[in-house]
Chains A and B, each alone.
Chain A
């Protein structure tokens, strides 16, 4: 038994969870627990009260509306990975999820939990930023929506307040054309957090001209970043290796990597470029 003692509240509804969160100083929610439990075991986190979201049935599920794929926050990563709706509507997410952890962690880990935690090199936040997902934050005073690109304020830091619960994430559905996706990462072992990861989704018209581009990079900045200049340079183009090699350099201007245990900043910049080229070409096939 390693974590410090805490009170445990098994929430039965979102309202119940929000009330419990508001009523206890220093209470936090537990989603899949795949990051929080180790942090508690190492006593990096010592909440006095844990509000469990796992038994709230309407906090999980996958649905579509006209423009969006709606994923409730507690939907397990394994469910998202296996979902045919996700595969057809937001193919980038399916591709990225196969890089997230392992079967055992995906069966427990949730989509919302990964986004709320905000590891700089995690794959799910990277996709949310690449596709500019919308994130719902519920509290007792109502629900507000934040665009993924405005959600993070630094590594493991977001605009979510302590009394808020991330309830849903909506990914825009790209209608029409041919959609290509690319996901590339380098990590010490498959399933580990990435050193650098790149997510790409492209839309092509019947002449194979790129009509929409999303390119984002994780692990080379405090939070994942979009490569807007590169996206603009892909627009209107037929994509081949020569073109990508010519325009990929612009990503340097959005990256701000740092040295750490796993890799130097210089290595991250170099590998970011190679992975971006590969991911774009993967998406262009």
Chain B
């Protein structure tokens, strides 16, 4: 067992896990944060996307021990300080950018990553940003719409 200490959504947490535990399993099972979804578990679907040190990565493609000492943000971290859904979640709800919701946390993390880099993205940039996230339900059009709305609202807010 290895002791792993990391910052997750702004809070420092420590837990121990076997080295073979993926960051994804660690977040869900050891830290009890279940917004991050487990899809393919081999790097294809993007449902497990989290921010690591400020950039989006697939949490199924690294071991929890590798995140020791690092900063992680999951979809839970997109909520406002008072626990309200936050701009990105709200926009997904408004545009109905989901059906079953399985891909949604990953899509929202990808959205956060995009909008923190480019507040006014083109549709091509939006498509590129979610290019590594599969959705089996929506056909993507409403997800793209949700991201447009989120971008607009975040710009208006600043």
Q: Mark A residues whose CB is within 8 Å of B.
A: 1-8, 10, 30, 33-34, 37-38, 40-42, 50, 52, 54, 78, 101-105, 107-108, 190-191
Contact A104 B22 (CB under 8 A): no
* Assembly CA distance A5 to B17 (angstroms): 12
Residues of B close to A6: CB separation below 8 A = 19-20
Residues of B close to A52: CB separation below 8 A = 65-66
Contact flag A108-B61 (CB < 8 Å), given A38-B43, A41-B41, A191-B131: yes
Q: Mark B residues whose CB is within 8 Å of A.
A: 2, 18-22, 25, 41-43, 46, 49, 52, 55-58, 60-63, 65-66, 68, 110, 113, 128-129, 131-132
Residue of B25, B62, B132 near A102 (CB, 8 A) is B132
* Assembly CA distance A193 to B66 (angstroms): 26
Contact A38 B22 (CB under 8 A): no
* Assembly CA distance A37 to B19 (angstroms): 12
Residue of B25, B49, B68 near A104 (CB, 8 A) is B49
A-B contact pairs, 28 of them (CB 8 A): A1-B20, A1-B21, A1-B22, A2-B20, A2-B41, A5-B18, A6-B20, A8-B2, A33-B66, A34-B43, A34-B58, A34-B61, A37-B61, A38-B42, A38-B61, A41-B60, A42-B42, A50-B19, A50-B63, A101-B132, A103-B55, A103-B56, A103-B113, A103-B129, A105-B58, A105-B61, A108-B61, A191-B131
- In the complex, the chain A residue whose C-beta lies closest to that of B128 is A103
A75 smallest CB distance to B (angstroms): 14
Question: Per DSSP, are chain B's interface residues mostly helix, strand or loop, or mixed?
Answer: mixed
Contact B18 A105 (CB under 8 A): no
- In the complex, the chain A residue whose C-beta lies closest to that of B109 is A104
Residue of A8, A54, A78, A102 near B46 (CB, 8 A) is A102
B23 smallest CB distance to A (angstroms): 10
Contact B18 A1 (CB under 8 A): yes
Contact B132 A1 (CB under 8 A): no
* Assembly CA distance A41 to B43 (angstroms): 11
* Assembly CA distance A103 to B52 (angstroms): 13
* Assembly CA distance A12 to B1 (angstroms): 20
A116 smallest CB distance to B (angstroms): 17
8 smallest beta-carbon distances between A and B, as pairs:
A102-B132, A8-B19, A38-B42, A107-B55, A3-B20, A37-B61, A104-B56, A108-B57
Contact A54 B66 (CB under 8 A): yes
Residues of A close to B21: CB separation below 8 A = 1
Contact B18 A37 (CB under 8 A): no
Contact flag A103-B20 (CB < 8 Å), given A8-B2, A54-B66: no
Contact A191 B55 (CB under 8 A): no
A39 smallest CB distance to B (angstroms): 9
Residue of B42, B46, B52, B60 near A107 (CB, 8 A) is B52
Residues of B close to A105: CB separation below 8 A = 43, 58, 61, 132
- In the complex, the chain B residue whose C-beta lies closest to that of A191 is B131
Residues of A close to B63: CB separation below 8 A = 8, 33, 37, 50
Residues of A close to B18: CB separation below 8 A = 1, 5
Contact flag A107-B56 (CB < 8 Å), given A3-B20, A102-B132: yes
